[in-house]
Amino acid sequence: MNILIPVLTLTGLGLAFGVGLAIAAKKFCVVTDPRIEKIFKKLPGANCGACGMPGCMGFAEGLIRGKCSVQQCVVAKEEARREIAAILGVEEKEKVKATAVLHCNGGKARVKDRFDYRGPQECIAANLVMGGGLKECVYGCIGYGTCSPICPFGAITMSQEALPVVDMEKCKACNKCVLACPKKLFTLVPVKQNVFVACSSHDSGKDTKAACPVGCIACGLCEKACQFDAIHVIDNLAIIDYNKCTSCAECVKVCPMKTIQVRKGRAG
Amino acid sequence: MDISRIFAIAISMVFINNFILSKFLGLCPFLGVSKESKSALSMGFAVIFVMTSSALITWLIYDFVLLPFNMGYLRTIVFILVIASFVQFIEMVIRKSSPPLYKALGIYLPLITTNCAVLGVTILNVDNFFPGSSALPGSFVYSIFQAFFAGVGFMLALILMSGIRERLELADVPESLQGIPIAFVVASLMSLAFMGFSGFKF
Protein backbone atom coordinates (compact mmCIF):
# COMPACT_ATOMS: atom_id res chain seq x y z
CA MET A 1 0.00 0.00 0.00
CA ASN A 2 2.94 2.30 0.64
CA ILE A 3 3.60 2.61 -3.05
CA LEU A 4 0.23 4.28 -3.52
CA ILE A 5 1.18 7.43 -1.58
CA PRO A 6 4.04 8.58 -3.85
CA VAL A 7 2.13 7.55 -6.98
CA LEU A 8 -0.93 9.50 -5.92
CA THR A 9 1.07 12.51 -4.74
CA LEU A 10 3.04 12.69 -7.96
CA THR A 11 -0.10 12.24 -10.07
CA GLY A 12 -1.78 14.93 -8.03
CA LEU A 13 1.12 17.32 -8.47
CA GLY A 14 1.30 16.63 -12.20
CA LEU A 15 -2.43 17.07 -12.60
CA ALA A 16 -2.43 20.30 -10.58
CA PHE A 17 0.40 21.78 -12.63
CA GLY A 18 -1.09 20.60 -15.91
CA VAL A 19 -4.49 22.08 -15.19
CA GLY A 20 -2.86 25.23 -13.81
CA LEU A 21 -0.82 25.70 -16.96
CA ALA A 22 -3.82 25.05 -19.17
CA ILE A 23 -5.83 27.70 -17.34
CA ALA A 24 -2.88 30.10 -17.45
CA ALA A 25 -2.45 29.52 -21.18
CA LYS A 26 -6.10 30.52 -21.71
CA LYS A 27 -5.94 33.45 -19.35
CA PHE A 28 -2.63 34.90 -20.48
CA CYS A 29 -2.99 34.08 -24.14
CA VAL A 30 -1.58 36.78 -26.42
CA VAL A 31 -3.68 37.34 -29.49
CA THR A 32 -1.52 38.07 -32.50
CA ASP A 33 -2.87 40.21 -35.27
CA PRO A 34 -3.10 38.35 -38.63
CA ARG A 35 -1.99 41.58 -40.32
CA ILE A 36 1.46 41.25 -38.72
CA GLU A 37 2.14 38.13 -40.77
CA LYS A 38 0.84 39.82 -43.93
CA ILE A 39 3.04 42.89 -43.48
CA PHE A 40 6.04 40.76 -42.60
CA LYS A 41 5.76 39.04 -45.97
CA LYS A 42 5.85 42.40 -47.79
CA LEU A 43 8.94 43.58 -45.89
CA PRO A 44 12.41 42.96 -47.37
CA GLY A 45 13.35 40.47 -44.66
CA ALA A 46 16.92 41.78 -44.45
CA ASN A 47 16.52 42.29 -40.67
CA CYS A 48 18.93 45.22 -40.97
CA GLY A 49 17.46 47.08 -38.01
CA ALA A 50 17.63 50.47 -39.75
CA CYS A 51 14.07 51.20 -38.61
CA GLY A 52 15.18 50.93 -35.00
CA MET A 53 13.09 47.83 -34.33
CA PRO A 54 14.49 44.33 -33.69
CA GLY A 55 14.23 42.94 -37.20
CA CYS A 56 11.45 42.94 -39.76
CA MET A 57 9.05 41.04 -37.48
CA GLY A 58 9.52 43.66 -34.78
CA PHE A 59 8.89 46.38 -37.35
CA ALA A 60 5.68 44.71 -38.52
CA GLU A 61 4.49 44.58 -34.90
CA GLY A 62 5.49 48.20 -34.41
CA LEU A 63 3.48 49.21 -37.47
CA ILE A 64 0.36 47.52 -36.15
CA ARG A 65 0.76 49.11 -32.74
CA GLY A 66 1.29 52.49 -34.39
CA LYS A 67 4.74 52.85 -32.85
CA CYS A 68 6.46 53.41 -36.19
CA SER A 69 5.56 54.49 -39.70
CA VAL A 70 6.12 52.76 -43.01
CA GLN A 71 8.68 55.41 -44.00
CA GLN A 72 11.04 54.15 -41.31
CA CYS A 73 11.82 51.13 -43.45
CA VAL A 74 14.48 52.49 -45.76
CA VAL A 75 14.99 49.24 -47.63
CA ALA A 76 11.50 48.43 -48.87
CA LYS A 77 10.62 49.41 -52.42
CA GLU A 78 8.02 52.10 -53.06
CA GLU A 79 5.59 49.47 -54.27
CA ALA A 80 5.93 47.32 -51.15
CA ARG A 81 5.53 50.38 -48.95
CA ARG A 82 2.33 51.31 -50.71
CA GLU A 83 0.97 47.79 -50.25
CA ILE A 84 1.84 47.79 -46.56
CA ALA A 85 0.24 51.19 -46.18
CA ALA A 86 -2.87 49.75 -47.82
CA ILE A 87 -2.96 46.89 -45.31
CA LEU A 88 -2.63 49.41 -42.49
CA GLY A 89 -5.11 51.80 -44.08
CA VAL A 90 -2.84 54.83 -43.91
CA GLU A 91 -1.40 57.00 -46.64
CA GLU A 92 2.23 56.61 -47.53
CA LYS A 93 4.53 59.63 -47.71
CA GLU A 94 7.76 60.19 -49.63
CA LYS A 95 10.82 59.25 -47.64
CA VAL A 96 13.85 61.55 -47.64
CA LYS A 97 16.55 59.29 -49.00
CA ALA A 98 19.98 59.49 -47.46
CA THR A 99 23.26 57.72 -48.03
CA ALA A 100 26.37 57.13 -45.97
CA VAL A 101 29.31 59.48 -46.39
CA LEU A 102 32.90 58.86 -45.29
CA HIS A 103 34.46 61.83 -43.52
CA CYS A 104 38.07 61.06 -44.34
CA ASN A 105 40.16 61.34 -47.45
CA GLY A 106 43.54 60.28 -46.09
CA GLY A 107 44.26 57.09 -47.99
CA LYS A 108 47.29 54.83 -48.04
CA ALA A 109 49.52 57.15 -50.07
CA ARG A 110 48.55 60.32 -48.21
CA VAL A 111 48.82 59.34 -44.56
CA LYS A 112 51.83 57.31 -43.43
CA ASP A 113 51.77 54.46 -40.93
CA ARG A 114 53.24 55.09 -37.50
CA PHE A 115 54.58 51.56 -37.14
CA ASP A 116 54.59 48.16 -38.76
CA TYR A 117 51.33 46.48 -37.73
CA ARG A 118 51.08 42.69 -38.07
CA GLY A 119 47.95 41.91 -36.05
CA PRO A 120 44.55 40.86 -37.41
CA GLN A 121 43.68 42.78 -40.56
CA GLU A 122 40.61 44.27 -38.93
CA CYS A 123 39.85 47.91 -38.18
CA ILE A 124 38.39 47.11 -34.75
CA ALA A 125 41.46 45.11 -33.71
CA ALA A 126 43.92 47.61 -35.20
CA ASN A 127 42.13 50.42 -33.42
CA LEU A 128 42.92 48.82 -30.04
CA VAL A 129 46.67 49.02 -30.62
CA MET A 130 48.79 51.95 -29.38
CA GLY A 131 45.94 54.33 -28.63
CA GLY A 132 44.04 54.29 -31.88
CA GLY A 133 45.52 52.51 -34.80
CA LEU A 134 48.57 52.64 -36.94
CA LYS A 135 48.03 55.81 -38.96
CA GLU A 136 49.79 59.13 -38.35
CA CYS A 137 46.32 60.65 -38.06
CA VAL A 138 44.49 59.00 -35.15
CA TYR A 139 41.13 60.24 -36.44
CA GLY A 140 41.48 58.88 -39.96
CA CYS A 141 40.43 55.75 -41.78
CA ILE A 142 42.47 52.66 -40.83
CA GLY A 143 41.74 51.11 -44.19
CA TYR A 144 41.24 47.42 -43.39
CA GLY A 145 37.68 47.65 -44.64
CA THR A 146 35.66 46.31 -41.72
CA CYS A 147 32.76 48.38 -43.08
CA SER A 148 32.77 46.67 -46.46
CA PRO A 149 31.54 43.14 -45.56
CA ILE A 150 29.22 44.56 -42.89
CA CYS A 151 27.12 46.37 -45.51
CA PRO A 152 24.06 44.13 -46.18
CA PHE A 153 23.62 45.70 -49.62
CA GLY A 154 27.19 45.47 -50.93
CA ALA A 155 27.37 49.24 -51.28
CA ILE A 156 30.83 49.69 -49.77
CA THR A 157 33.94 48.76 -51.73
CA MET A 158 37.56 49.48 -50.85
CA SER A 159 39.42 51.72 -53.29
CA GLN A 160 43.07 51.46 -54.40
CA GLU A 161 43.81 54.05 -51.73
CA ALA A 162 42.37 51.68 -49.07
CA LEU A 163 39.44 53.97 -48.45
CA PRO A 164 35.83 52.74 -48.50
CA VAL A 165 33.74 54.05 -51.37
CA VAL A 166 29.98 54.19 -50.93
CA ASP A 167 27.85 53.36 -53.95
CA MET A 168 25.03 55.89 -53.66
CA GLU A 169 22.68 53.75 -55.72
CA LYS A 170 23.07 50.69 -53.52
CA CYS A 171 23.29 52.44 -50.14
CA LYS A 172 20.01 52.21 -48.21
CA ALA A 173 21.14 54.28 -45.23
CA CYS A 174 20.74 51.33 -42.88
CA ASN A 175 23.29 52.83 -40.47
CA LYS A 176 25.33 49.63 -40.07
CA CYS A 177 28.63 51.14 -41.25
CA VAL A 178 28.03 54.20 -39.08
CA LEU A 179 27.89 51.95 -36.03
CA ALA A 180 30.64 49.55 -37.11
CA CYS A 181 33.42 52.03 -37.90
CA PRO A 182 35.67 52.28 -34.81
CA LYS A 183 36.68 55.79 -35.90
CA LYS A 184 33.05 56.91 -36.41
CA LEU A 185 33.86 58.22 -39.88
CA PHE A 186 30.50 57.59 -41.55
CA THR A 187 27.41 59.74 -41.27
CA LEU A 188 24.14 59.61 -43.15
CA VAL A 189 23.61 62.64 -45.38
CA PRO A 190 20.44 63.32 -47.39
CA VAL A 191 20.94 62.58 -51.07
CA LYS A 192 20.07 66.09 -52.18
CA GLN A 193 22.90 67.49 -50.06
CA ASN A 194 26.07 67.35 -52.09
CA VAL A 195 28.74 69.11 -50.09
CA PHE A 196 30.58 67.29 -47.30
CA VAL A 197 33.74 67.64 -45.23
CA ALA A 198 36.13 64.78 -45.95
CA CYS A 199 37.96 64.93 -42.64
CA SER A 200 37.28 64.08 -39.00
CA SER A 201 40.49 65.32 -37.40
CA HIS A 202 40.15 67.41 -34.26
CA ASP A 203 43.91 68.02 -34.11
CA SER A 204 45.17 71.59 -34.44
CA GLY A 205 45.75 72.80 -38.00
CA LYS A 206 49.52 72.38 -37.70
CA ASP A 207 49.31 68.80 -36.45
CA THR A 208 46.72 67.83 -39.05
CA LYS A 209 48.84 69.26 -41.84
CA ALA A 210 51.88 67.35 -40.62
CA ALA A 211 49.98 64.06 -40.73
CA CYS A 212 47.78 64.45 -43.80
CA PRO A 213 47.92 66.64 -46.91
CA VAL A 214 44.13 66.74 -47.30
CA GLY A 215 42.94 67.25 -43.70
CA CYS A 216 40.95 70.16 -42.31
CA ILE A 217 43.39 72.76 -40.91
CA ALA A 218 40.62 74.80 -39.30
CA CYS A 219 41.55 77.96 -41.26
CA GLY A 220 37.96 79.20 -41.20
CA LEU A 221 37.86 80.36 -44.84
CA CYS A 222 34.75 78.24 -45.45
CA GLU A 223 32.98 79.97 -42.56
CA LYS A 224 33.56 83.35 -44.21
CA ALA A 225 32.59 82.13 -47.68
CA CYS A 226 29.26 80.65 -46.57
CA GLN A 227 26.32 83.03 -47.06
CA PHE A 228 23.88 80.82 -45.19
CA ASP A 229 25.72 80.42 -41.87
CA ALA A 230 25.75 76.69 -42.54
CA ILE A 231 29.40 75.76 -41.97
CA HIS A 232 31.36 76.32 -38.78
CA VAL A 233 34.77 75.32 -37.51
CA ILE A 234 34.07 73.55 -34.23
CA ASP A 235 36.95 72.06 -32.26
CA ASN A 236 39.39 72.40 -35.17
CA LEU A 237 37.05 70.80 -37.70
CA ALA A 238 34.64 72.26 -40.23
CA ILE A 239 31.10 70.95 -39.66
CA ILE A 240 28.20 71.50 -42.06
CA ASP A 241 24.71 72.10 -40.73
CA TYR A 242 22.56 70.33 -43.32
CA ASN A 243 19.45 72.15 -42.20
CA LYS A 244 20.96 75.35 -43.59
CA CYS A 245 23.27 74.17 -46.36
CA THR A 246 22.03 74.79 -49.90
CA SER A 247 24.82 72.90 -51.70
CA CYS A 248 26.02 76.15 -53.32
CA ALA A 249 29.59 74.84 -53.04
CA GLU A 250 31.13 78.24 -52.24
CA CYS A 251 33.08 76.63 -49.39
CA VAL A 252 34.40 73.97 -51.77
CA LYS A 253 35.95 76.71 -53.89
CA VAL A 254 37.77 78.45 -51.04
CA CYS A 255 38.99 75.39 -49.12
CA PRO A 256 42.81 75.49 -49.43
CA MET A 257 43.26 71.80 -48.57
CA LYS A 258 40.45 70.54 -50.83
CA THR A 259 38.95 68.97 -47.71
CA ILE A 260 35.42 70.11 -48.44
CA GLN A 261 34.17 68.24 -51.47
CA VAL A 262 31.20 67.67 -53.71
CA ARG A 263 29.88 64.13 -53.74
CA LYS A 264 30.37 62.22 -56.92
CA GLY A 265 27.69 60.12 -58.59
CA ARG A 266 24.73 62.25 -57.65
CA ALA A 267 21.63 60.06 -57.43
CA GLY A 268 18.23 61.47 -58.29
CA MET B 1 19.07 35.19 10.10
CA ASP B 2 22.77 35.67 10.16
CA ILE B 3 24.44 38.24 7.91
CA SER B 4 27.84 36.56 8.11
CA ARG B 5 26.30 33.26 6.99
CA ILE B 6 24.75 34.98 3.99
CA PHE B 7 28.08 36.63 3.20
CA ALA B 8 29.80 33.26 3.36
CA ILE B 9 27.14 31.81 1.05
CA ALA B 10 27.70 34.67 -1.40
CA ILE B 11 31.49 34.24 -1.57
CA SER B 12 31.16 30.48 -1.78
CA MET B 13 28.56 30.48 -4.54
CA VAL B 14 30.07 33.23 -6.69
CA PHE B 15 33.74 32.26 -6.48
CA ILE B 16 34.67 29.08 -4.63
CA ASN B 17 31.83 26.86 -5.78
CA ASN B 18 31.02 28.71 -8.98
CA PHE B 19 28.42 26.57 -10.72
CA ILE B 20 30.04 26.66 -14.13
CA LEU B 21 33.72 26.86 -13.41
CA SER B 22 33.99 24.69 -10.28
CA LYS B 23 30.97 22.41 -10.39
CA PHE B 24 30.76 22.15 -14.20
CA LEU B 25 26.99 22.53 -14.24
CA GLY B 26 25.17 24.42 -16.97
CA LEU B 27 27.94 24.19 -19.55
CA CYS B 28 25.44 24.13 -22.39
CA PRO B 29 24.20 27.72 -22.08
CA PHE B 30 27.71 28.70 -21.00
CA LEU B 31 29.01 27.84 -24.45
CA GLY B 32 25.82 28.58 -26.34
CA VAL B 33 25.00 32.10 -25.19
CA SER B 34 28.50 33.46 -24.55
CA LYS B 35 29.21 34.84 -28.00
CA GLU B 36 28.07 38.37 -27.22
CA SER B 37 28.27 40.29 -23.96
CA LYS B 38 24.80 41.72 -24.44
CA SER B 39 22.98 38.41 -24.70
CA ALA B 40 25.22 36.95 -21.98
CA LEU B 41 24.01 39.68 -19.66
CA SER B 42 20.33 39.04 -20.40
CA MET B 43 20.88 35.31 -20.05
CA GLY B 44 22.61 35.92 -16.71
CA PHE B 45 19.63 37.87 -15.41
CA ALA B 46 17.25 35.19 -16.64
CA VAL B 47 19.27 32.51 -14.81
CA ILE B 48 19.37 34.54 -11.58
CA PHE B 49 15.63 34.99 -11.78
CA VAL B 50 14.84 31.36 -12.52
CA MET B 51 17.25 30.02 -9.89
CA THR B 52 15.93 32.28 -7.14
CA SER B 53 12.29 31.61 -7.87
CA SER B 54 12.76 27.87 -8.25
CA ALA B 55 14.70 27.72 -4.96
CA LEU B 56 11.75 29.41 -3.33
CA ILE B 57 9.17 27.07 -4.78
CA THR B 58 11.15 23.84 -4.34
CA TRP B 59 11.86 24.62 -0.69
CA LEU B 60 8.13 24.93 -0.11
CA ILE B 61 7.34 21.77 -2.06
CA TYR B 62 10.06 19.79 -0.29
CA ASP B 63 9.08 20.94 3.17
CA PHE B 64 5.30 20.73 2.83
CA VAL B 65 4.75 17.94 0.31
CA LEU B 66 7.70 15.59 -0.01
CA LEU B 67 8.80 15.39 3.65
CA PRO B 68 5.36 14.74 5.21
CA PHE B 69 4.78 11.94 2.69
CA ASN B 70 8.25 10.57 3.29
CA MET B 71 9.21 10.64 -0.36
CA GLY B 72 12.44 12.67 -0.37
CA TYR B 73 13.93 10.14 -2.77
CA LEU B 74 11.60 11.47 -5.50
CA ARG B 75 12.96 15.00 -5.19
CA THR B 76 14.77 15.08 -8.55
CA ILE B 77 11.75 14.14 -10.62
CA VAL B 78 9.41 16.34 -8.62
CA PHE B 79 11.76 19.31 -8.85
CA ILE B 80 12.01 18.94 -12.61
CA LEU B 81 8.24 18.91 -12.83
CA VAL B 82 7.85 21.88 -10.53
CA ILE B 83 10.57 24.03 -12.11
CA ALA B 84 9.49 23.29 -15.67
CA SER B 85 5.87 24.16 -15.09
CA PHE B 86 6.71 27.18 -12.97
CA VAL B 87 9.04 28.63 -15.61
CA GLN B 88 6.42 27.99 -18.29
CA PHE B 89 3.91 29.85 -16.19
CA ILE B 90 6.27 32.78 -15.59
CA GLU B 91 6.96 32.97 -19.31
CA MET B 92 3.26 33.28 -20.07
CA VAL B 93 2.77 35.93 -17.43
CA ILE B 94 5.72 38.00 -18.64
CA ARG B 95 4.60 37.69 -22.23
CA LYS B 96 1.20 39.03 -21.35
CA SER B 97 2.12 41.68 -18.85
CA SER B 98 5.41 43.11 -20.09
CA PRO B 99 6.48 42.65 -23.73
CA PRO B 100 9.81 44.54 -23.31
CA LEU B 101 10.80 42.27 -20.44
CA TYR B 102 9.73 39.29 -22.52
CA LYS B 103 11.98 40.47 -25.36
CA ALA B 104 14.92 40.81 -22.98
CA LEU B 105 14.48 37.65 -20.86
CA GLY B 106 11.68 35.61 -22.37
CA ILE B 107 13.59 34.02 -25.21
CA TYR B 108 16.11 32.62 -22.74
CA LEU B 109 13.55 31.21 -20.33
CA PRO B 110 12.76 28.01 -22.30
CA LEU B 111 16.51 27.42 -22.57
CA ILE B 112 16.88 27.18 -18.81
CA THR B 113 13.63 25.50 -17.83
CA THR B 114 15.28 22.37 -16.59
CA ASN B 115 18.88 23.33 -16.96
CA CYS B 116 21.16 21.23 -14.77
CA ALA B 117 22.50 24.33 -13.00
CA VAL B 118 18.99 25.26 -11.89
CA LEU B 119 18.20 21.74 -10.79
CA GLY B 120 21.64 21.57 -9.18
CA VAL B 121 21.07 24.56 -6.97
CA THR B 122 17.74 23.22 -5.69
CA ILE B 123 19.24 19.80 -4.91
CA LEU B 124 22.17 21.52 -3.19
CA ASN B 125 19.71 23.51 -1.08
CA VAL B 126 17.99 20.34 0.00
CA ASP B 127 21.31 18.67 0.81
CA ASN B 128 22.54 21.66 2.80
CA PHE B 129 19.46 22.75 4.65
CA PHE B 130 17.56 19.54 5.35
CA PRO B 131 19.86 17.37 7.48
CA GLY B 132 17.92 14.37 8.68
CA SER B 133 14.32 15.05 7.82
CA SER B 134 13.52 18.57 8.94
CA ALA B 135 14.43 22.03 7.75
CA LEU B 136 17.11 24.04 9.54
CA PRO B 137 15.78 27.22 11.17
CA GLY B 138 16.02 30.11 8.72
CA SER B 139 16.90 27.80 5.88
CA PHE B 140 14.14 29.20 3.67
CA VAL B 141 15.91 32.56 3.44
CA TYR B 142 19.34 30.94 3.19
CA SER B 143 18.28 28.73 0.32
CA ILE B 144 16.90 31.72 -1.60
CA PHE B 145 20.16 33.59 -1.06
CA GLN B 146 22.18 30.55 -2.04
CA ALA B 147 20.27 30.27 -5.30
CA PHE B 148 20.50 33.99 -5.98
CA PHE B 149 24.27 34.04 -5.57
CA ALA B 150 24.65 30.84 -7.59
CA GLY B 151 22.91 32.79 -10.37
CA VAL B 152 25.26 35.73 -9.86
CA GLY B 153 28.22 33.35 -10.15
CA PHE B 154 26.71 31.92 -13.32
CA MET B 155 26.31 35.39 -14.75
CA LEU B 156 29.88 36.33 -13.79
CA ALA B 157 31.31 33.30 -15.58
CA LEU B 158 29.08 33.96 -18.61
CA ILE B 159 30.12 37.60 -18.91
CA LEU B 160 33.82 36.83 -18.48
CA MET B 161 33.55 34.16 -21.13
CA SER B 162 31.68 36.40 -23.56
CA GLY B 163 34.28 39.15 -23.16
CA ILE B 164 37.04 36.67 -23.98
CA ARG B 165 35.13 35.21 -26.92
CA GLU B 166 34.47 38.64 -28.41
CA ARG B 167 38.23 39.23 -28.48
CA LEU B 168 38.79 35.67 -29.67
CA GLU B 169 36.81 36.45 -32.83
CA LEU B 170 39.70 38.62 -33.97
CA ALA B 171 42.49 36.24 -32.99
CA ASP B 172 44.27 33.95 -35.38
CA VAL B 173 43.06 30.54 -34.17
CA PRO B 174 44.30 27.33 -35.87
CA GLU B 175 41.65 25.98 -38.18
CA SER B 176 41.11 22.75 -36.29
CA LEU B 177 40.44 24.64 -33.04
CA GLN B 178 38.07 27.29 -34.35
CA GLY B 179 34.69 27.75 -32.73
CA ILE B 180 33.66 25.40 -29.93
CA PRO B 181 37.07 23.68 -29.37
CA ILE B 182 38.86 26.91 -28.54
CA ALA B 183 35.91 27.90 -26.36
CA PHE B 184 36.43 24.71 -24.35
CA VAL B 185 40.15 25.46 -24.02
CA VAL B 186 39.31 28.94 -22.75
CA ALA B 187 36.69 27.52 -20.39
CA SER B 188 39.16 25.06 -18.89
CA LEU B 189 41.77 27.79 -18.36
CA MET B 190 39.15 29.95 -16.65
CA SER B 191 38.14 26.98 -14.56
CA LEU B 192 41.77 26.49 -13.48
CA ALA B 193 41.83 30.10 -12.35
CA PHE B 194 38.64 29.61 -10.33
CA MET B 195 40.06 26.45 -8.77
CA GLY B 196 42.54 28.80 -7.14
CA PHE B 197 39.79 29.98 -4.82
CA SER B 198 39.31 26.56 -3.28
CA GLY B 199 42.80 25.16 -3.75
CA PHE B 200 43.62 21.94 -5.50
CA LYS B 201 42.56 18.72 -3.84
CA PHE B 202 44.04 15.51 -5.06
Beta strand residue intervals within chain A, DSSP E: 98-102, 156-158, 164-166, 186-190, 195-197, 231-234, 237-240, 260-262
- A10-19, A228-237, B3-12, B93-102: least confidently modelled range: B93-102
pLDDT of residue A34: 78
pLDDT of residue B143: 92
DSSP class per residue in B25-69: --HHHHHHS-SSHHHHHHHHHHHHHHHHHHHHHHHHHIIIIITTT
pLDDT of residue A9: 86
Q: How far apart are CA A127 and CA B173, in angstroms?
A: 20
What radius of gyration do chain A's Cα atoms show?
Answer: 27
Q: How far apart are CA A28 and CA A21, in angstroms?
A: 10
Q: Quick one: CATH architecture of A98-262? A: 2-Layer Sandwich (3.30)
> Shortest CA distance to B33 belongs to which of B20, B23, B42, B24?
B42
The C-alpha of B27 sits at a distance from chain A's nearest C-alpha, in angstroms, of: 28
A24 and B92 within 8 Å at the Cβ level: the answer is: yes
For chain B, the structural domain boundaries read: 3-198
Chain B residues with beta carbon closer than 8 angstroms to that of A26:
none
A interface with B, Cβ–Cβ below 8 Å: 5-6, 9-10, 13-14, 17-18, 20-21, 24-25, 28-30, 54, 120, 122, 124-125
pLDDT of residue A267: 39
Q: Which ipTM value was assigned to this complex?
A: 0.71
Q: How far apart are CA B158 and CA B148, in angstroms?
A: 15
pLDDT band, very low/low/confident/very high, at B151 (cuts 50, 70, 90) = very high
Chain A residues with beta carbon closer than 8 angstroms to that of B85:
17-18, 20-21
**Are both A34-88 and A98-262 of the same fold?**
no
CB–CB contacts below 8 A, A to B: 45
Chain B residues with beta carbon closer than 8 angstroms to that of A9:
65, 69, 71
pLDDT of residue A265: 53
Residues in chain A: 268
For chain A, the structural domain boundaries read: 34-88, 98-262
A125 and B170 within 8 Å at the Cβ level: the answer is: yes
Which of B85, B87, B88 is most worth mutating to test chain A (most A CB atoms within 10 A of its CB)?
Answer: B85
B interface with A, Cβ–Cβ below 8 Å: 65, 69-71, 74, 77-78, 81-82, 85, 88-89, 92-93, 95-96, 103, 170-172
pTM for the full model?
A: 0.59
- Averaged over successive runs of 10 residues, the pLDDT of chain A (268 residues) comes to 84 91 84 78 76 76 77 79 78 67 86 83 83 81 88 88 87 85 89 88 88 89 88 89 86 89 62
pLDDT of residue A95: 58
pLDDT of residue A268: 35
pLDDT of residue B1: 67
Please give the residue that has the higher pLDDT: either B143 or B71. B143
Task: Kindly report, residue by residue over B36-76, the tens digit of the pLDDT.
Answer: 788 788 888 888 988 999 999 999 999 888 888 888 888 88
Please state the CATH superfamily assignment of the domain spanning residues A34-88 in this structure.
Electron transport complex subunit B, putative Fe-S cluster (1.10.15.40)
**Dihedral sign (CA A174, A180, A181, A185):** positive
Distance from CA of residue B197 to its chain's centroid?
A: 19
